[in-house]
Amino acid sequence: MSSKIRFAKTGDPDFYSTLNKRVDEYFTDNKLSKNANWVMVFKTFFYLGIFTAAYLLLILGTNSIAMQFILWIVIGFFTAFIGLNISHDAIHGSLSRHKRINKILSYTFNIIGANAYLWGIMHNIVHHTYTNIEGHDEDIESVPLLRICPHQKLMKIHRHQYWYAFLFYGFGSLTWVFIKDYVKFFKKKIGNYENKKHPPIEYFNLFFFKAVYYTIFLVLPLIFIQAAWWQILLGFFALHFFEGITMAVIFMLAHVVEETNFPLPNEKGNIENSWAVHQLYTTADFGRENNVLSFFCGGLNFQVEHHLYPRICHVHYKPISNIVKRTAEEYNLRYNSNHSFRGAIRSHIRLLKRLGRKELVTVPAA
């Protein structure tokens, strides 16, 4: 099989051009910028403010052990919210029309323990291009104890994965902060992306910001918090568990549900659909009418819209989703969506159950 992926140029060549025209008309007719509005500005201050206040209260306050754990958990949730709402848009270049502002706000990703530069490669380039393609999309890369793609090797333990998967998701951010970024940074290839040469500044940034994170969330708590060292480490683990499960669930409900495809290229490396149709079929929206859900998960419950328009700030995805859905239906293309968060969870669990058995997981019909 060829390692180079090519998307079809036939099929529905007018779909994406028609959709682009309609989306552009929406912004022009309503005299709107595709970047942040006052809602996004509020969200930026809100998430950074709560995050900072919770951290300072944890470090400087005189709190009971129970209150300390509550603050660790609050920081964990708001770490995820910062990543999903602020860092994610900034790294995509969609938060502001000014590159400098996007660059500055992208460093919030480094402050919460990850690496903005590496995420730009793994997510913006690799995941957004080769979505749900086994062996190419890093976000569905095979991990121990979990089978999240029908083309991954089936093991006996997978039979029970729908029971333990969510517990396993809680370890995602912990391994990310201590292992994943280092491994991926020095890996020669990420999917189809040649990962051999990094700018010298990025070597510095990787180790410098990791040291900053370890200092802020491990060293300083051990110095200032009035608690046993093991209680502090347990609190740090609680932070990452709730951060990890929040971020993992958002991703899984958008890509690893019954409605989405997991296509494989043919021997020549060709995918049967165009890139735009591929994005339609490998992503899924959920809870489109739930404004609270959209507020907290950075609009990533509109995953179809995000993959088609990653350079548009997520606060615009809800009205755009109506345009995308209508246009897809006009071209007889499937638009994946679960009505509610609960419905998406159920779909994910059902798929995990099927992936844990020998039965063939069929590809949803176009």
| Residues above pLDDT 70, as percent of the chain | 96
Which range of residues forms the domain containing residue 186?
6-355
Domain annotation covers residue 362: no
Measure the CA–CA gap between 198 and 146, rounded to whole angstroms.
Answer: 31
Total tally of structural domains belonging to the chain: 1
Beta-carbon contacts of 114 under 8 Å, excluding residues fewer than 6 positions away, are: 83, 87, 176, 177, 181
Q: 1: pLDDT confidence band, cut at 50, 70 and 90?
A: very low
pLDDT for position 363? 54
* Tokens found for residue 127: 């995941």
| Category of 287 on φ-ψ map: left (φ > 0), alpha (ψ -120 to 50) or beta | left
Residue 1, domain member (yes or no): no
pLDDT above 90 for 194: no
Residue 365, in any domain of the structure:
no
Q: 47-90: per-residue pLDDT in tens? A: 999 999 999 999 998 999 999 999 999 999 999 999 999 999 99
**Residue 255 belongs to a domain:** yes
Helix (H, G, I), strand (E, B) or coil at 189: strand
Q: Which residue has the higher pLDDT, 366 or 303?
A: 303
pLDDT at 255 exceeding the cut of 70: yes
| Token pair listed for 116 | 């903005």
Answer whether residue 359 shows pLDDT above 70: no
The 10 Å Cβ neighbour count of residue 63 is 17
Of residues 196 and 63, the one with the higher pLDDT is: 63
**Position 28 pLDDT exceeds 50:** yes
Question: CA–CA separation, 308 vs 316, rounded Å?
Answer: 13
Task: Give the CA radius of gyration of the chain.
Answer: 21
| pTM for the model | 0.93
Please indicate, yes or no, if residue 185 is contained in any of the structural domains: yes
Return d(Cα 31, Cα 216) in angstroms, integer. Answer: 43
216 inside domain: yes
In degrees and rounded to multiples of 5, residue 6 shows phi and psi of: -125, 135
Q: Does residue 130 fall inside a structural domain?
A: yes
Kindly state whether residue 293 falls inside one of the protein's structural domains: yes
- The region of weakest confidence among 109-123, 130-144, 216-230 is 130-144
Q: Mean pLDDT for the chain?
A: 93
Euclidean distance between the first and the last CA atom of the chain, given in angstroms as a whole number = 24
pLDDT at residue 161 in the model: 95
Question: If DSSP codes are grouped into helix, strand and coil, which group holds residue 193?
Answer: strand
**pLDDT tens readout for residues 321-348:** 999 999 999 999 999 999 999 999 999 9
